[in-house]
Amino acid sequence: MTRSVMRFVPYTIAQDQTAWPEYVARCVSGDEKECGAESGSKSDPADVEKWMTNHTRGTGHLRYRRTFADYAVFEPPEGAEGGRVIPGEVVEHARAIEVSHPLAIEPRKATA
């Protein structure tokens, strides 16, 4: 079995600010079958609420399923620039715990 020694780096998961989040609503009103009308993907929740208001006004439907989606990125802590996330299987250290997939940073190669 191959073992690796990796240095733990506490990455943070954050919303990707370079991509717009997406908001969608679908009408689920109906006794036996849902209406199924959808707002389509919008970048502003106010646009979805406006669509819901107009749909309710025209149909009397009152129940919707709203969906939110965004993109996420792992952000390394300060001072860890140039590293990348690499998967690991076992971390060997006197006080380390075996972890199936730790986040680690690949050590930089020395430059002359």
Domains of the chain: which residue ranges?
1-15+77-112, 22-69
Of the two residues 85 and 6, the one the predictor is more confident about is: 6
Strand partners, 14: 73
Using DSSP, how many helices (H) and how many strands (E) does the chain show?
Answer: 1, 6
CA angle 73, 77, 78 (to 5 degrees): 125
Collapsing DSSP to helix, strand or coil, 57 comes out as helix
Q: Which stretch of 8-17, 69-78, 88-97 has the lowest confidence by average pLDDT?
A: 88-97
Query: Please, what sign has the CA dihedral across residues 82, 85, 86, 89?
Result: positive
pLDDT band at 106 (very low <50, low <70, confident <90, very high): very low
pLDDT band at 78 (very low <50, low <70, confident <90, very high): confident
